[in-house]
Amino acid sequence: MIKIYNGTPKKDEIEMRKVYSSKLGELMGKHNEIVALEADLMNAITTGKVQKEYPERVINCGIMEANMIGIAAGMSIAGKYPFAHTFTAFASRRCFDQLFMSGAYQKNNIKVIASDAGVTSAHNGGTHMSFEDMGIMRGLADTVVMEMTDAVMFENILEQIATKDGFYWIRTIRKNAATIYEKGSTFEIGKGNLLKDGSDITLIANGIMVSEAIKASEKLEKEKISVAVIDMFTLNPIDKELIKKYAQKTGKIVTCENHSIHNGLGSAVAEVVAEAGNAKLRRIGIKERFGQVGTLDFLMNEYGLTAEHIYGAALELLKD
Averages of pLDDT over each 10 residues, the chain, 320 residues:
72 90 97 97 94 96 96 97 98 96 96 97 93 96 97 97 97 96 95 97 98 97 98 98 97 98 97 92 97 96 98 94
Same domain, 243 and 136: no
Same domain, 68 and 124: yes
- pLDDT at site 257: 98
- pLDDT at site 8: 65
Same domain, 99 and 205: no
Residue 187 lies in a domain: no
Same domain, 121 and 45: yes
Which phi and psi angles does 53 have, rounded to 5°?
A: -80, -35
Same domain, 160 and 20: yes
Q: Domain containing 297: what range?
A: 193-319
Choose the catalytic residue: 65, 147, 155, 257.
65
Same domain, 165 and 199: no
Same domain, 146 and 283: no
Q: Total domain count for the chain?
A: 2
Residue 207 lies in a domain: yes
pTM: 0.96
Same domain, 136 and 209: no
Same domain, 244 and 313: yes
- pLDDT at site 170: 98
- pLDDT at site 277: 79
Residues 305 and 210: beta-carbon distance below 8 Å: no
* Residue 223 annotated as catalytic: no
Residue 81 lies in a domain: yes
